[in-house]
Amino acid sequence: MSSFLKTTHIVAILLLSTPAGVYGEKQVAPRASHPGALDVDFRQAKSAGVETPLHFFQLACIHCQHDDETAAAREIRRAAKMLKKEAKKASGKSKQAINKSANELSGLALKFEQHIDVSIDALKMAFARAHYALAYEYQQRAKESWLRKKAKDAGESLKAASFHAEQGIAWIDGKTRKKTKDVFLATRELAKGLAHGTKGEIKHIGSQTNALGKEIELFGSRILRGSERSASGVGK
């Protein structure tokens, strides 16, 4: 079976497991016949102030449905370019993770162009790793902003970190613990309060940043386990 026939065969599964709308809002997975749903999702993300490769990931899946390897590769490369841009603003461990993820996406795009088999696990885990790298980076930015007593900036970074963690988990399997959901919700509410200048929210920044950081660590552990299963051939 050719790589694209194989990928097209599994893309329906990918779309069914495509992350929901911004911050976990329930949304029907976008289909090729309804690209508008995808556009709305991306506009919501942009209006929320979150820079995200999710739009490109979803478009790549839709191009797979249309048997267009070139277009799918183009969208994945656009996602890689976005990550490279984010890496320039990062440092240390998060910079390395974002660059590594960008390179992984570029490699996947090349495979599409060269008609090399790409498995469903490879796509989903690559997309999840991209969101994890960004979630980790934004959580670090939130910590730095809080240390500088820039509450509003901390809130914006927390919002972005929560968004990427939630979307990344959805690419793995969409299974989220109640405690994790509660942390995401509390983070969103805190960010909203800080955006509106609610002074009472400031005292919660430190504890919420740490709570979100723990959830992102758990998310990273799930990615590692998923990668190990993929390498061993389980779930393919």
More confident residue, 142 or 231: 142
Residue 153's pLDDT is 92
Residue 22's pLDDT is 35
Residue 4's pLDDT is 47
Residue 48's pLDDT is 55
Sign of the torsion angle spanned by Cα atoms 75, 17, 228, 215: positive
| Burial class of residue 16, CB neighbours in 10 A (0-12, 13-18, 19+) | exposed
Q: Which amino acid is at 201?
A: E
Residues in the chain: 236
* Complete DSSP assignment for 90-115: --HHHHHHHHHHHHHHHHHHHHHHTT
* Complete DSSP assignment for 23-45: GG---PPP-TT-HHHHHHHHHHH
- 231 falls in which pLDDT band (50, 70, 90)? low
Query: Looking at residue 21, what DSSP letter applies?
Result: S
Residue 89's pLDDT is 94
Token pair of 124 as six digits: 């989903």
* pLDDT one-digit tens code per residue, 88-117: 999 999 999 999 999 999 999 999 999 898
More confident residue, 60 or 234: 60
The HSE-up count of residue 128 (CA atoms within 13 Å, CB side) is 26
Task: Please name the residues in contact with 236: beta carbons below 8 A apart, sequence gap of 6 or more.
Answer: 119, 120, 121, 230
Q: Where are the domains of the chain?
A: 3-232
Residue 122's pLDDT is 87
Helix (H) or strand (E) holding 207: helix 205-232
- 13 falls in which pLDDT band (50, 70, 90)? very low
Distance CA 148, CA 146 (A): 5
Distance CA 147, CA 152 (A): 12
- 174 falls in which pLDDT band (50, 70, 90)? confident
Distance CA 204, CA 171 (A): 29
Phi/psi region, residue 70 (left: phi>0; alpha: psi -120 to 50; beta: rest), is alpha
More confident residue, 234 or 39: 234
Residue 6's pLDDT is 47
* pLDDT one-digit tens code per residue, 133-169: 999 999 999 999 999 999 999 999 999 999 999 999 9
Residue 67's pLDDT is 83
